[in-house]
A and B are shown apart, each in its own frame.
Chain A
Amino acid sequence: MSDAPRPDPDALLVAIQREEAQKRRGKLKVFFGMAAGVGKTYAMLQAAQAEKAAGRDVIIGYVEGHGRKETDRLTVGLPLVPRRRVEHRGLPLEELDLDAVLARRPQLALVDELAHTNAPGSRHPKRYQDVLELLDAGIDVYSTLNVQHVESRADTVREITGSTVQETVPDRVLDAAQIELVDLPPNELLRRLDEGKVYLPERAAVAMVNFFREGNLTALREMALRLAAEKVGQQVRDYLQVMQIERPWKSGHRLLVAVSPSPWAGAMVRWTRRLADSLDSPWLAVYVETARPLTEGDQTRLTQHLSLARELGAEVITTTDENVVRGLLRLARQHHVTQIVVGKPAGGWFHRWFRAGAFFRRLMRESGDVDLHVVRAEKLGDAGARRAAWRPWLDSGWRQYALALGAVSAVTLASGLLNPWVGYRTVALNLLLAVVVLALFVGRGPIFLAATLSALLWNFFFLPPVFTFYIKSLEDAMMFGMYFIIALVLGQLVARIRAQERAERRREERTTALYLLTRELADAVGVEDIARNVVRHVGQVFGAQVGLLLADGGGNLPLQAEPASTLTLSEKERSVAAWVFANGQAAGPSTDNLPMAECLHLPLATSGGPVGVLSLHFQRSTRMTLDQRNLLESFARQTALVVDRQRLSEATQRTQLVAESERLSKALLNSISHELRTPIAAITSAVSGLSAPPAERSLNLHQALVEEITQAAQRLNRVVGNLLDMTRLESGHVTPRLEWCEVSDLVNVSLQHVNRELASHPVTTDVAPGLPLVQMDFRLMEQVLVNLLLNAAVHTPPGTPVRVGARRERDLLVLALADRGPGLPAEALSQIFDKFYRAPGAPAGGTGLGLSIVKGFVEAQGGRVEAGNLPEGGAVFRVVLPIGEAPPVPAEAEP
């Protein structure tokens, strides 16, 4: 990214986000020193007293005064939250009572010794994790730390002092902290040690005295000073970026460290972190997965290295590639990496020359303008780590060795029986065949054994002179040599192909599992269905009982898992799940949080916050491999996404429903109030006209007023009738009484009803002769035709004709009502039968219910209704009813 525009917007964003996050979170201040005894606790208490005097609510969460009077005096006046007492292997231990502090909610809590390891059974293994939770809760924390406990400095400290530091604090914890350096010249510290003013635990006294040598202390002091200075430097840079202060921008370095399962990779990760710190650059830790299968030990180490990198602040990426160099460089390009850190090869000259050599040559050739750091990883490693180096013959179980031995022996024996007929050269091919076939079933170690053994057996039993390892002719010696090499190479090749295949298959299985889950989730309808699928799937793939807790709409975790769950959570596990939900971090075995829990709990996190918790209880207590863990996390992510999507779509539907019902009720109020009030207004005004003395009104006026009242009353009656019909339809109370009816009778009766309304329209009827009886509810169909006729009366100009037709189309009766009015607008066709729909430009009048009643009534009788326009102009409505088989009528002779 050396040519990136400056100031780098990403960096600015990060700085601003960091600032914002800190506004909400509590602030951590670390009193930082080179060694025990420099007075960190004392300085912390002094600062706390000052805060207290300034009126802040300060409490002591955990302060270890070691019985020193000066220190104890400073604790006076600061409220103490009682420590939590735990017993471990008969030893009474005291720990910070995290829950009590959280419940007390002070503004500032003092928690001594940030690097402390908690007693087993605590919520977090490490105290700094307790502190992080306090910060998350918005509580400021003062703590103390020595330089040798800083993760990225641990190796250097070991180099300086020769003692390994067990308790370390990840650098990312310090990244967000304010560092207060407590400094003391080494000779001063030694004087205090001499005076007995430095507390040393009994057990470690001797080792610690070794530690307190002036040379060591000077080196440690320099480290502490440097770290504090770097910290300040970074804060200044953050400030400059936020304040947009011009300054020469440092070239944007980006580091990449290649992580492998090798025992030395951890040291490389720490080394890279230190380099990244001094360059102030982001860094990636990358693992390239190849076809080579990993042993369980490799897996464990790899997981450790990657989580170490994550803790030290790296972005961790795992990718798959057949070639490690290609994979590394691909990621490096994608992420604009400027420098790559790889380990210097360990192992014998053979390995260094052939395998590592090829690796470096290719890396150097193809890395282009990316700088390479080759780190001498071996020296950085732990002393004991080398013992755990990669040994292929440990991959395979003893069964495979037994199989290899047995197979070679059996083929040798069989060849021995055949020997009189086939000769020793054929025997060699037999044995070769056995080795190759064997390679299909066993690992590389057993194949190596089989190849060697078969070569020796062949030599001993078959190569003349037999029963010696001596070979007489040069030809035979060459053959023996070639046999040995061919068996070895062929066996190894087949075994490797098989291993690749297996790795491929495992990846395939993983992809398939994820694909299947995704597909089933895509088909799932509703949260219950999703839960059922997730529980079944995760349970199958991981051999575990699965519980799914999904938050309700208010973001609260329910007390019980989804009904589909196969796992019932105990009270304790439920509280772990609640913690996971609140903190968005996994908890349980093989995690950093609450490792003593029985079940593994994963948060179902989405960008909008957590939607629930996935809990697994493994039937066998096995450590999860990296693969499995990745897969499980993918499952959790997928589940979270789907649940989130489901919740969203439900919410959208609810909103739509509410909007729809609001729209309907508004339409109802508008339409009904208009439709009811208009005739009432007409009646009222006509009646007031009638109530004038008879002398003042003519007979004509009288008749006109009476006619108005009559029409208004009929209109009112129709509106009420429509409303009643609609109510019947809505409440599902329309149960048609189907009877065999005569169509012409129906048409006639319906027309009688509306002859007044259709007085100004010439009506023609066209009922096909010979129509059979049709099964229908006469009254409902009458209402249907009346509504359609009234609709035509309202929507067509006076004088235009209306035609009612009835004919048979196969086994259907088609009633058609056609007018010669303006026709229906195209956009109205799809909605015209909807409740309260008024076609655009329609004249006033009508409730908007008539046609929806038509549709409801016709459909209740098993028919359908259509609307359309005629080619010659005008609208046409068609009602289609099934005719059915009319029952027989007793015949009677005509007289």
Chain B
Amino acid sequence: MKEKAQGPPVALVIDDELQIRRLLRLTLEANGYRVVEAGTGPEGLVQAAQSRPEVIILDLGLPGLDGLTVLRRLREWSRVPVIVLSVREREEDKVAALDSGADDYVTKPFSTAELLARLRVAQRHAQPLPEEVVVRSGELEVDLANRVVRKGGQEVKLTGTEYALLRLLTRNAGKVMTHHQLLREVWGPANLEHTHYLRVYMAHLREKLEENPAQPELLVTEPGVGYRFVWKGP
């Protein structure tokens, strides 16, 4: 989190629906944010530059300038975390938004608690992560510096690819990673369509790391979009 001397973090809400903006303002202000609103895409871009928000909540179906375009323009100069909030629940839209640089995706109707959790994750990822860190979630402990994975204190042997996949997910813990993002990082840009690689290796990872592989709690499937590493309290 950026250290800001003056007061609470700023959240920019770009949505054309007045009712949604009003509701978000109520919720976010009640949770310690300062809220800036924008009703259109261009206005949103202006506000993003002027009020330097800590996080942006972006609707995709905007009049005038489409939400995806706003996102791409924004990404040309800013790395501020963006949560997409939209009624579009088709995976193509989610994947397109995530691949265009959105940090997460929440579908309307949404629960306030979930939105707040996503906001916190997104804001944390905006901080540069130290290289030598140990990620812990429940029983699992991933020592990124020493490339060691432990479950309940016992070391778990992983293959190179399995480790690469787990490392990518844990470094982005709490954030959804699209198939493309995972495939590109682990198998290289030539294998973007080979989602079955992911299925097979995710199954391997779950087998080795999950309490109950049939009902995974750490490595969660985001249907049609990708996977997410979930942070659990110990």
Seen from chain A, the residues whose Cβ lies within 8 Å of a Cβ on chain B are 713, 717, 737, 739-742, 744-745, 747-749, 765, 767, 773, 777-779, 782, 886-887, 889-890, 892-895
Contacts and interface: CB of A to CB of B under 8 A. Distances in A.
A773 B200 CA distance: 8
Contact of A713 (B109, B200, B213): B109
Contact of B91 (A748, A779, A889, A893): A779
B214 A744 contact: yes
Interface in B145-198: 157-162, 194-197
B9 to A, nearest CB: 28
Contacts of B203: 742, 745
Contact of A739 (B157, B159, B196): B196
Contacts of A779: 91, 223-224
B27 interface: no
Contacts of A739: 195-196
Interface residues of B, number: 23
Given A713-B109, A737-B224, A893-B159, 19 more contacts: A740-B195, A740-B196, A740-B199, A744-B214, A745-B199, A745-B221, A748-B215, A749-B221, A767-B214, A773-B196, A773-B200, A778-B224, A887-B194, A887-B196, A889-B200, A892-B160, A892-B162, A895-B159, A895-B160
A886 B197 CA distance: 11
Interface in B203-228: 203, 213-216, 221, 223-224
A886 B196 contact: yes
Nearest to A781: B223
A782 B223 contact: yes
A861 to B, nearest CB: 14
B157 A894 contact: yes
A763 to B, nearest CB: 11
Contacts of B202: 742, 745
A740, A745, A748, A887: which has the most chain B beta carbons within 10 Å? A745
Contacts of A747: 214
Interface in B130-152: none
Contacts of A892: 159-162
A739 B226 CA distance: 12
Interface of B: 91, 109, 157-162, 194-197, 199-200, 202-203, 213-216, 221, 223-224
Contact of A889 (B160, B196, B213): B196
B109 to A, nearest CB: 6
Contacts of B224: 737, 777-779
Contacts of B91: 737, 779
B223 A778 contact: yes
A717 B158 CA distance: 42
Contact of B157 (A765, A889, A895): A895
B166 to A, nearest CB: 13
Contacts of A894: 157, 159
B36 to A, nearest CB: 28
Contacts of B214: 744, 747-748, 765, 767
A893 B157 CA distance: 11
Contacts of B160: 892, 895
A777 B92 CA distance: 12
A786 to B, nearest CB: 10
Contact of A749 (B196, B213, B223): B223
Contacts of B196: 739-740, 773, 886-887, 889
User: Which 4 residue pairs are nearest across A and B when measured between Cβ atoms?
Assistant: A740-B196, A779-B224, A895-B157, A889-B200
11 contacts: A737-B91, A744-B213, A748-B216, A748-B221, A773-B199, A782-B223, A887-B194, A887-B196, A892-B159, A892-B160, A892-B161
B158 A895 contact: yes
Nearest to B160: A892
A850 B160 CA distance: 44
Given A779-B91, A892-B159, A895-B158, A717 B109 contact: yes
B146 to A, nearest CB: 15
B84 to A, nearest CB: 17
B157, B159, B161, B199: which has the most chain A beta carbons within 10 Å? B199
A773 B195 CA distance: 11
